[in-house]
Amino acid sequence: MLDLIKFIIEVIKRKLIVWHYNAIKHTHKESLAPYLKYKDTITDIWYIFGDYERHINSAIDSYTKKGYQNFFIDVGANIGLTTILNWKKFDILYCLEPNDLVFNIMKTNIAISCDKEKVKLFNVGLGLKRGKYTLKVPKHNFGGAFIKENNLQYQFDKAENHIDVQVNIESEDFLNENIFNTFKAEHKGIIKIDVEGYELEVLELIVRTIHVNKIVIIFENWQTLDRKIIEKIIKNSNFTSFKIGHIKWFSSLIQKIKSKSTYSNILFLDDNENFLPKECVVIIELEE
């Protein structure tokens, strides 16, 4: 009898999996089936929700409708999901990913999902100091790979839970020679940074190197962040006007029900707010 019950439960479970898989296939208006790594955090998100970082994609969409369409730069692009969900909105896109283990998957995803002529791929990361570094890649979450050196943001798991990968980090010269040299002053675009603890370093590199009138920079933040740190970085650049905002994660079920979302809309800091909250996406509007 027990074996029969187990068998029925297994049949029901498989039916539910197949039903959900078929539902995910039809989530997008157009066919979008990227290659994913089994039993990985990114795969879980895609499979469960049929989407990836919807709150970030929504912010990107809102800015492209305001004319920020000339370029998109995805720093820490991983397997390219953000790019393949947004590539039609921009004139040209640049994906930077230093990890060889996922770079080739990203190449495949771009090839089957995008116009390859619009999307330029670079197997490098960015930082203030160029060189070769060791990237520690969590086996269960290839999107959570980090460089341990001078990284104060993360608590590190045991060594056996990671794969060590040697990566190339490039800096100002690379950006000027491969990306920024094609931009005009009047261009407006969006830059997404996802580098697991080095976001502020990459932010500093970009704002002191790029020369366009307007950009929006988006990055995840997991710590309480003093706005003065961001303001200091920006004031050492050519940008004279800026706004700092965030998309906040709702921990309360009541908040989620009221907003019909897991995340808030963009909330810009007022003069009395000195800190960005934990677990948010930071939005910075910059203008020369």
Residue 42: what residue type? I
- 9 versus 26: the higher-pLDDT residue is 9
Predicted confidence at residue 262, as pLDDT, reads 80
Residues 6+ apart with CB under 8 A from 150: none
Helix (H/G/I), strand (E/B), else coil: 227: helix
Q: How far apart are CA 2 and CA 97, in angstroms?
A: 50
**Packing angle, helices 227-235 and 199-209, rounded to 10:** 30
pLDDT in tens, 59-76: 999 999 999 999 999 999
Tell which phi-psi region holds residue 150, choosing left (phi > 0), alpha (psi between -120 and 50) or beta.
Answer: left
Which residue do the tokens 């060189």 mark? 131
Question: How much is the mean pLDDT over the chain?
Answer: 86
- What residues contact residue 203 under an 8 Å CB cut-off, 6+ apart? 193, 217, 219, 230, 233, 284
On the question of pLDDT at 32 being above 70, the answer is no
Residue that wins the pLDDT comparison between 261 and 269: 269
Domains in the chain: ranges and CATH: 2-287 (3.40.50.150)
Residue 201 is predicted with a pLDDT of: 93
Poorest-pLDDT segment among 12-21, 169-178, 184-193: 12-21
Q: Taking residues 264-280, what's their average pLDDT?
A: 88
pLDDT band at 152 (very low <50, low <70, confident <90, very high): low
pLDDT in tens, 181-238: 999 999 999 999 999 888 999 999 999 999 999 999 999 888 889 999 999 999 989 8
> Per DSSP, what are the bridge partners of residue 73?
94, 191
How far apart CA 231 and CA 218 sit, in angstroms, is 15
**Which of residues 248 and 216 earns the better pLDDT score?**
216
Cβ distance 32 to 87 under 8 Å? no
CA-atom Rg of the chain in angstroms:
20
- Check residue 116 and give its pLDDT: 84
Per-residue confidence (pLDDT) for residue 149, from 0 to 100:
72
Three-state SS sequence of 239-260: CCEEEEEEEEECCCHHHHHHHC
Q: Give the pLDDT band of residue 27 (cuts 50, 70, 90).
A: low
